[in-house]
């Protein structure tokens, strides 16, 4: 049975790979292949439309490429540094593109509806998504990060704790509190 690397081993590996990627194209491609899907999934959860997520991800990886030599593993994990770039790029785009927040997901991306899904069902789902997004915005930034990392990035409490400089117990407590607050906010809207 092959043992999976620990969180610390993974963190050290990606930190080392980031240092190598400054001069090694293969290491850069490895970073890109590992982190692009995770960061993009994160940005999609934050953005109200695909165009905004696409622009955010493009800027994020361009900035990663330009500033990779400035990354210092003594100041934090590579993944934390990269997510900080992603959040900053998202915020910059958001400041210049507030009107996109008013668009529903379907206006920016309109996949074909499943055959059994009625227009009424789609409307209800869209309203539920808006309510959930509004409730999430009422939580603190840390609570939003923990929920995002848990449900959208499928990270464990231990991984989140490592990324945010918390204990796993504190992550669980915050997650529990956040879910209760979300439930309360959503019930208030009904």
Q: Write b or e for each residue in 25-46: b if 16 or more Cβ atoms lie within 10 A of its Cβ, otherwise e.
A: eebbebbeebbeebbbebbbbb
Compute the average pLDDT of residues 5-23: 90
Angle 157-164/7-21 helices, nearest 10 degrees? 50
- Spell out the residues 6+ positions from residue 29 whose beta carbon is closer than 8 angstroms to its own: none
Question: Could you say which architecture CATH assigns to the domain 119-190?
Answer: Orthogonal Bundle (1.10)
151: which 2 tokens?
A: 């449900």
Per CATH, domain 1-109 is 1.10.1740.10: yes
Note the pLDDT tens digit of each residue in 141-166: 888 888 777 776 667 788 888 888 88
- The label of the residue with tokens 């990392």 reads 149
Is the Cβ–Cβ distance between 125 and 136 less than 8 Å?
Answer: no
pTM of the model: 0.53
Note the pLDDT tens digit of each residue in 111-127: 444 445 567 776 777 77
Q: Where are the domains of the chain?
A: 1-109, 119-190
Note the pLDDT tens digit of each residue in 160-182: 888 888 888 888 888 888 888 87
Note the pLDDT tens digit of each residue in 58-106: 889 988 988 999 998 888 889 989 988 998 888 888 777 543 333 333 3
């Amino acid at each position: 049975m092959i043992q999976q690397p620990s969180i610390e081993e993974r963190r050290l590996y990606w930190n080392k790979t980031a240092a190598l990627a400054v001069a090694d194209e293969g290491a850069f491609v490895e970073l890109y292949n590992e982190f692009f899907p995770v960061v993009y999934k994160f940005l999609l959860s934050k953005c109200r439309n695909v165009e905004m997520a696409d622009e955010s991800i493009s800027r994020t990886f361009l900035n990663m490429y330009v500033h990779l030599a400035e990354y210092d593993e003594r100041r934090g994990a590579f993944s934390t540094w990269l997510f900080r770039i992603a959040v900053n790029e998202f915020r910059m785009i958001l400041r210049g593109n507030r009107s996109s927040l008013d668009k529903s997901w379907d206006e920016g991306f309109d996949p074909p509806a499943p055959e059994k899904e009625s227009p009424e069902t789609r409307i209800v789902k869209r309203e539920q998504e808006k309510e959930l997004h509004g409730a999430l915005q009422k939580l603190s930034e840390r609570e939003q990060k923990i929920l995002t990392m848990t449900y959208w990035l499928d990270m464990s409490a231990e991984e989140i704790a490592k990324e945010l400089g918390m204990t796993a117990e504190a992550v669980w407590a915050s997650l529990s509190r956040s879910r209760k607050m979300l439930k309360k906010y959503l019930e208030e809207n009904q």
